[in-house]
Amino acid sequence: MDFLYNYIYYIGAFGLILIGLYILLVKHNLIKMIIGLSILETGVNLFIITLGYLDNGTAPIFSKENLESNMMVDPVPQALVLTAIVIGLAVLALALSLAIRLYDSFKTLNLKKIKEQKW
Amino acid sequence: MKKFFSLILLIIIVVGMIYTIHQIPFGKNQSKIGKYFVANGKDETGAANIVTSVVVGYRSFDTLGEVTVLFLAAIGLGAILTTTKKQNHDIEKASLILNTGCRFLFPLVLLFSAYIFIHGHLSPGGGFQGGAVVASGFLLIYLACPGKRINKVGNTISESVGGLIFIILGAIGLFVGDRYFLANFLPKGELNTLFSAGIIPIIYIALGFKVGSELNSVIDKMMEES
Amino acid sequence: MIIVITLLVLMMLASAITACIMKDLISAVIAACVVSLIAAVLFFLLHAPDVAMAEASIGAALVTAVFIIAIKRTKRHEE
Amino acid sequence: MKEITYINPVLLIAVPLALAFIIPILKFVWEKSIKWIPVAGFLFDLIVSITLIPIVLQKNIIVKIGGTTTPFSINLVVGPAGLLLSIMISLAGFLVAIYALKYIQEGDKTKYHILFMLLLTGAIGVVLTGDIFNLFVFFEVLCISSYALVGYLGNRAGIESSIKYLIQGSIGSSLLLVGIGLIYGQYGTLNMADLAAQIKTADSISLFVPMFFMITGLGIEAAIFPLNSWLPDAHSSAPSSISAVLSGIAIEVGLYAMMRILFTIFAAESFMGFLLFLGVITLLIGEMSAFSQNNIKRMLAYSSIGQIGLIVFAFSIATASGLSGGFFQMISHTLNKALLFLATGFMIYRTGSMEISSFRGLGKKMPLTALFFTIGTFSIIGLPPFVGFASKFLIFKAALAKQELLFIILIAVIILTTVIEGAYFFRIIQTLYFKESDDKSSKQESAITALIPMFIFALLILILGIYPNWIMKFIHSAASELLNKMSYLRSVLG
Amino acid sequence: MILFYMMIFAFVGAFLIYFAGKSFPRIKEILAVVISFLLFLFVALLYGKDFQINYHNFLGFHLFLRINMFSWLFALTITFLGFLSIIFSLSYMKDKKNNAFYYMNMLFVNIAMLGIVLAGDLISFFIFWEIMSWSTFLLISYKKGSALPASMKYIIMSIIGSLSMLIGILYLYDLTDTTIISQLSHIIRFINKGDVIFVVILFSIAFGIKNAVIPFHNWLPPAHSEAPSPFSAILSGILIKMGVYGFLLLFYVIIGLDIIFHLTGLTIVLNVLAAITIIFPTFLAILQNDAKRLLAWSTVAQAGYIFMGITYGTELSVAGGIFHFLNHAIFKALMFLAVGAIEYRTKGIRDLNSLGGFIKKMPFTFAAMLIGAMGLIGLPLTNGFVSKWLIYKTLILNGSPFLAFAALIGTWGTILYSYKLIHNIFLGQLPAKFENIQKAPFSMKMPMMILSTIIIFFGILPGIPLQFINKIIVSFGYHPLNVSLFGIVSDSGNLNIINILAATFVIGVLIVLFFRSGRKSVRVDQYDNYAAGSFIPKEKYSYTNSFYAPLDRFLNSFLKDYIDIFYCKSAALIRHFCNGIRKIYTGYVGSYVMYILLFLAVLIFVQLNWSVF
């Protein structure tokens, strides 16, 4: 139980990173690879948030009731992840638009068949 | 074979990470800067939501970069997609229920998003989340009424002006008070009230508009193609 | 509580694997969307409501929409 | 001591950003002026950067952003090294923007100019920032705009290269982010100086793993050997003005970021020996791959890999003179490669082909362009009196000053690569001047707006080649800033 | 500062030619002649000066220009030959299109060589060396077509050489903390032998490549034969002698007599190389059918003599080497110019088998070529005789019979190929298509005339150049030779041209008398004869075809340029390998991702397992 408590989030995050990278390594459909990227990014975000967790902590927001500051979880990873999520969205959108254009030009999304640029 | 090899590689990488994780016990960790922000954030910036005070206050330069990234994505998407030749699709009409439902929901979604980014310094949420909600509202309309398009000029202007407000507010900070970029030069106000936290709500509102219109233009460009 | 979290994580990983093996890209995207959604829940459980909101609205909703638009425009099935 | 007033260096980033944000509005108001905006923006940056030189030579400028207390808010640390690169970036940006006035004819020009500006602004952000996550954000600005610009022309090659670049680049950013996360988890701070103060030197595995992650992430943009597969595709498919910037600026900025992290944060001297080999291998692979290319832009791209390898080698010597050599080589590579790509751009534009064999007789048809191209090639091979000689000279000198057998062997390898380099570059020169072309059409010189930047680059190559001493003081202080961890710490943390 | 201003003036002049040539076509030729003449004049006026100046500061190195007797002699030769070949170019280049480019590079080469000999420190030596390399490259490629691979070969060899020299310079700098030649010569004795040998090897690669010592000679024959003829003259006459200058500088000025000849094995190796360089190219020269390629191989062989002279290391041999450098510059330039004149008039034909009988059409050129060939062979009363005499004598006196024998064989071979050259071009039958050939123009004749005069002049009065050479070897630390106006006086035998003159005169008179006493020759028409009732085809009849056929057949089977073949094979191998290496960029993203993760995983794995970093 203790082990689970300590590691379950890390397991989730590393699992996502592993699966994302695995998709990127093995799959050759472009959309699939982009899905892999998105999973990878989610994993990284989860990992960073996990770093800032505090046992029995509260969200880093002061309200009328909660003015106690020393049990708040670390706000910095949250700020970082907020940024990272948006950046991830930007990259994904760009990647998908490129995928559309790629399909227009090559009529396939199989990257094994798209090898004009090599050597 | 390749899959097996890939798995071995990935497992090595993960093992490396696990070794490092041992240094970071879960749930015990409170970082130096995190402690500082939690302790002093509300006094220095006046925002009740410490994440907001970090995102728009201490680390607002990151946020500027982040907004730029989003801007870039919208622009880059446009640059890449404009060069395609337009194809004619027969537009499928959505059902009446969906249509009406969306039209009904749309103002509510916008209102909600406005709430989110106006109260960014008080409660969870802020410019990004609000902007994303705006975009999903427009997405609803796109799905429900396939012919409808956003006003490009208005969208572009709100996109640009949002970014400009951010930078100009930052630059004003160079001339007042402590003279640093993105200084919070307005009065902090009382904690947990709407008019508090100086420039943070203004920036977040500008960001809300900017992010919303950028995401809109992203969706617009993508939809234009389909 | 810990059981719930464990289940959530396992579900998340399972849907990630589903996203990996699905030949139908729309299904894969939906699975990825589920990953994001569960991640958002986990964010919330980790006391990060801001991030949870962002992940839910951006990661789960917008990204999925963009994916689906792109798949509509290209090919639905992996080859 | 009297406080000297200077222009706040944050404007180096803020002004181009603001200008980039204005451009979409300008499109509705005054469309003609758009293409001058990058010119104006980078001219501003250039002037501001140059005025900062005398101040920075005395002490680093610490710019506080979003807060006054140092490790908690973001800093820009404008030291000699950062300023040197920022000058190079704004110089290249300024000249390439002038070049693009006429060169960019297709696609959505407004978007081109925005992307171009943001690309270089991101680069300036990367070199000036003193915060590790801020570095990541600006790195993303740099990367995403380059993805978009590589695919800007919308042709098959561009789209294919762009998507490949994007996939590798995003993996790199994710790895970088993981590395940042691992570091943050252990030390609870993101400020580079603060991190450096807590990490005396990299010794335990828990430090090495984040370091490897960050090196891999940054190494992808820096195009170190096994991580550089995107480079030949991307650089050869982008519009030539962009290739000039990507080759001349982007990879060097990536390398600078990597070196900054290695030297300042981790102080990983034991790792430098490995980088030494990596640099030489990169050099070897790049030059060997370039050797039998027929596509000129691809050849230049591979040559960039080689040059980056040389810079990595120079930095990994990890002495003051080695770092000076590395910085000098960066400058020389920026000038050379930008010039070569710009000249190539118009040569391709006129002949309509990237095959080297189609450039026959261009020495007659576009004499000035060909002359500038020749100067660029001579310089990049390292022939005196051009700037490439000075930089290679410094690197050799620094390597030999170590007086170890290892360095002599590595230098022998470098000589081999230089010979290969000479072989393929001189082949182009022969094609330009000494092969008759089939068609006898008259002169078709490049546009004057393209010739001016080329001329300035060529002039700089020549002047810096003859009088390298003029910038040596600056380069020395840049090198000692990068090498000397403690002075960096003191300047930031007070 | 006069030296510095001179260099600046020359560089500015070179650029001026290029840009003036664009707008005023005529002026560039005048400018080129005037500038090269002024350079010659400047250098000549510097006679006897000995000083050095610091003209520039390059990356913390002080760059010096320096003049003394040693560099003065070389500088004078350079500017003189440069001037003559530019005059020769006036008509040679008349109908070429962008000859402004040619003249500019021609001046560049001259200035760069001037810079090399005037350099007072190794850095500026290297800089000028490189400028010389690339401008030579541009000039060799000038004639396009088959010149391109030739210049490619040249520049690649040249880069290898110059880079190894750069390493040598920097290595030396690390040991001694200086690059200034005059200081180096003092400090060098404190360095251990191993380092000195290492430096010598590095420099020898560079100088050996320029000087075409045997394992590095393969660039020379194609480059010489494909370059424009006036430039071939410079190339063969002085440019490759920059290697000689370098060797002299390294051995005698920098390292010094007392060290260099105590390095065991070094001189033996160099001498053997020199002997091979004499024999092997001589016989290759005999086999050539291209006039310029023949001369090119002959240049390699003669460079071997010079190399032999300067590496042998006695007063006589060094003096002989330097003198032979001077002589070779003169007569080889003359021969290249003569061939150039033929080439100019025949519109580019250099194939020996299709020429012949030009003695009637171009008598002046024939005379020049004859004198040049005599000098090359080393007949008495020409300058070549004296220098070869010096070298032979020292070889025999100091008990090196094998080297002397090699030199002798070289001379026999020289006779064979010189005769082949003269015979195939000027004697025999005139092919019908050259019936209307004209004499060489004046601007070609003038340099040839001057050079021929000098050959005879130095041949009769060797004392004049030997005076200068004497001063040089004294500055190297040798005892002075006892030189008189007509020869050399030494313990083991004197050389006196007066005696030889008398003997030659007597023999000449005897020969004339002998021929006068015989029957008169009868002239018949070329085609007026039969062979078994049928006409002999015209081509068969011209007996200049396959001149040394038996020798050819004998040598051809086993005398090839194996070294060149080796280089070409290894270049092809490298090319093949390079082509293979770039296949790692497969074009498939999956493999690229694999590289990235492999890199990361290997780093982590290595560190986890072995903690190497």
Structure confidence by residue, pLDDT tens digits, E466-475? 888 888 888 8
B72–chain D nearest CA distance, Å: 6
φ, ψ (nearest 5 deg) of residue E80: -65, -50
Q: What's the pLDDT band for E547 if we cut at 50, 70, 90? A: low
Confidence of residue E534 (pLDDT cuts 50, 70, 90): low
User: Hey, of D173, D229, D230, which one would you mutate to test binding to chain E, going by the most E CBs within 10 A of its CB?
Assistant: D229
Q: Using pLDDT thresholds of 50, 70 and 90, give the confidence band for residue E540.
A: low
Distance between CA atoms of A42 and B121, rounded to whole angstroms? 25
pLDDT of res. E525: 61
d(CA D353, CA D358): 7
Asked if B24 has any chain A CB less than 8 Å from its own CB, the reply is: yes
Which pTM does this prediction carry?
A: 0.92
Phi, psi of D361 (to 5 degrees): 75, 10
Question: Are E308 and E439 contained in the same domain?
Answer: yes
Contact A98 D162 (CB under 8 A): yes
Q: Which fold has domain A2-60+68-106?
A: Helix Hairpins (1.10.287)
> Is residue C79 included in any domain, yes or no?
no
Query: Rg of chain D's alpha carbons, rounded to an integer?
Result: 21
Flag if E582 and D226 touch (Cβ within 8 Å): no
Residue D312: pLDDT band with limits 50, 70, 90: very high
- Which pLDDT band holds residue D1 (cuts at 50, 70, 90)? very low
- Torsion angle of the four alpha carbons A108, A114, A116, B2, in this order, in degrees rounded to the nearest 10: -170
Q: For the purposes of burial, counting CB atoms within 10 Å of the CB of E580, is it exposed (0-12), middle (13-18) or buried (19 or more)? A: exposed
Q: For residue D85, what pLDDT is reported?
A: 92
Half-sphere exposure for E366 (CA within 13 Å, toward CB)? 15
Ordered by start, the domain boundaries in chain A are 2-60+68-106
* Chain E contact set for D400 (CB, 8 A): 167, 170-171, 173-174
B122 close to B201: Cβ distance less than 8 angstroms: no
Q: Do B16 and E594 touch (CB under 8 A)?
A: no
Give me the residues paired with residue E534 across strands: E531
User: What separation in angstroms does the CA of A39 have from each of A96, B10, D166?
Assistant: 15, 15, 16
For B60, the closest of D66, D108, D149 (CB atoms) is D66
Q: Strand order in E487-489's β-sheet?
A: E482-484, E487-489, E495-496
Which helix (H) or strand (E) segment is E163 a member of?
helix E147-176
Contact at CB, B15 and E608, closer than 8 angstroms: yes
| Digit-coded pLDDT (tens) for E175-228 | 888 888 888 888 887 888 888 888 888 898 888 888 888 888 888 888 888 888
CA pseudo-torsion sign E419, E422, E427, E432: positive
Q: Which chains touch C (3 or more CB pairs under 8 A)?
A: A, B
Q: Which chains touch B (3 or more CB pairs under 8 A)?
A: A, C, D, E
What DSSP line would sit under E541-581, residue for residue? H-TTTTTTHHHHHHHHTT---HHHHHHHHHHHHHHHHHHHH
C57–B225: do the CB atoms touch at under 8 Å? no
Q: How many C-beta atoms lie closer than 10 Å to residue B121's C-beta?
A: 33
Residues of B in contact with A6 (CB under 8 A): 25-27
Min Cα–Cα distance to chain C from B181, Å: 25
* pLDDT, tens digit (0-9, with 9 covering 90-100), for A16-34: 999 999 999 888 889 999 9
Cβ–Cβ contact C6 with B under 8 A: no
CB contact under 8 Å between A93 and B218, yes or no, is yes
Candidates B125, B218, B226; nearest CB to C50: B125
Phi (first) and psi of residue E546, to 5 degrees: 35, 75
Of the two residues D254 and B189, the one the predictor is more confident about is D254
**Cβ atoms B71, B211 nearer than 8 A:** no
Q: Which other chains touch chain D, taking contact as 3+ CB pairs less than 8 Å apart?
A: A, B, E
Mean pLDDT of chain D: 88
Residue E369 lies in a domain: yes
User: For residue B88, what pLDDT is reported?
Assistant: 54
Q: Lowest-confidence range among B129-143, E156-170, E261-275, E441-455?
A: E261-275
Average of per-residue pLDDT across D445-454: 86
Q: Establish if A4 touches chain B: CB-CB under 8 angstroms.
A: no
Contact predicate D347/D428, CB 8 Å: no
Q: Which residue of E has its CA nearest to D221?
A: E596
**Residues E66, E94 share a domain:** yes
Among D99-108, D332-341, E258-267, top mean pLDDT goes to D332-341
Look at residue E29 and tell me if it is in a domain.
yes
Q: Which residues in chain E touch residue A26, judged by CB atoms under 8 angstroms apart?
A: 590
Number of domains observed in the structure of chain E: 3
Contact criterion met (CB < 8 Å) for B9 and E597: yes
- Partner-chain contact B13 E608, CB within 8 Å: no
Closest alpha carbon within chain B to D112: B79
Other C-beta atoms closer than 10 Å to the C-beta of A31 total: 24
Contact D133, B66 (CB under 8 A): no
From chain D residues 210-239, the ones with a CB under 8 A of any chain A CB are 232-233, 236-237
Chains B and D touch (3+ CB pairs under 8 A): yes
Q: Which residues of E touch D209 (CB under 8 A)?
A: 604, 607
Spans in chain A with pLDDT lower than 70: 66-67, 69
Q: How many domains does chain C have?
A: 1
Residue-number span of the structural domain to which C27 is assigned: 2-73
Q: Is the pLDDT of residue C15 over 90?
A: yes
Q: Does A105 touch chain B (CB under 8 A)?
A: no
pLDDT digits (tens, 9 = 90+) for E83-117: 888 888 888 877 776 778 888 888 888 889 888 98
> pLDDT value at position E532?
63
Residue C32 included in any domain: yes
pLDDT 10s digits, E447-464: 888 888 888 888 888 888
> Is the ipTM above a cut-off of 0.85?
yes
Residue D154, pLDDT > 50, answer yes
- Partner-chain residue, chosen from E156, E577, E589, that has the shortest CB–CB distance to D423: E156
Confidence band of E345 (pLDDT split at 50, 70, 90): confident
CB contact under 8 A, E598 and B13: no
**Chain B nearest CA to C62, separation (Å):** 7
Q: Is residue E197 part of a domain?
A: no
Name the one residue in this structure whose structure tokens are 């033996």: E268
Q: Rounded mean pLDDT of E352-370?
A: 82
Q: Which of B5, B6, B22 to mutate to test the interface with E (most CBs of E within 10 A)?
A: B6
Give me the mean pLDDT over the D316-335 stretch.
91
B73 touches chain A (CB under 8 A): yes
Does D125 score more than 80 pLDDT?
Answer: yes
Same domain, yes or no: E589 and E464: no
Q: Which residue of A has its CA nearest to C56?
A: A85
CB-closest option in C50, C61, C73 to B225: C73
Angle (nearest 5°) at CA C63 between C60 and C66: 140
Closest chain D residue to B182 measured between Cα atoms? D66
Strands E61-67 and E482-484: unpaired
| Boundary of a domain, candidates E141, E175, E192 | E192
- Domain of D480, in residue numbers: 270-486
| Nearest-CA distance C16 → chain A (Å) | 7
B218 reaches C (C-beta below 8 A): yes
Q: Tell me how close the Cα of E594 comes to any Cα of chain A, in angstroms.
A: 6
Please report residues of A whose CB lies closer than 8 A to that of C12: 12, 15-16
Q: Measured between CB atoms, which of D28, D189, D205 is closest to B153?
A: D28
Domain containing E598 equals 562-610
The pLDDT confidence band at residue D334, using thresholds 50, 70 and 90, is very high
Contact with chain A for residue B124, Cβ under 8 A: yes
Instruction: Determine contact: E593 vs chain B, CB below 8 A.
Output: no
Residue scoring higher pLDDT (D333 or C76) = D333
pLDDT at B86 over 60: no
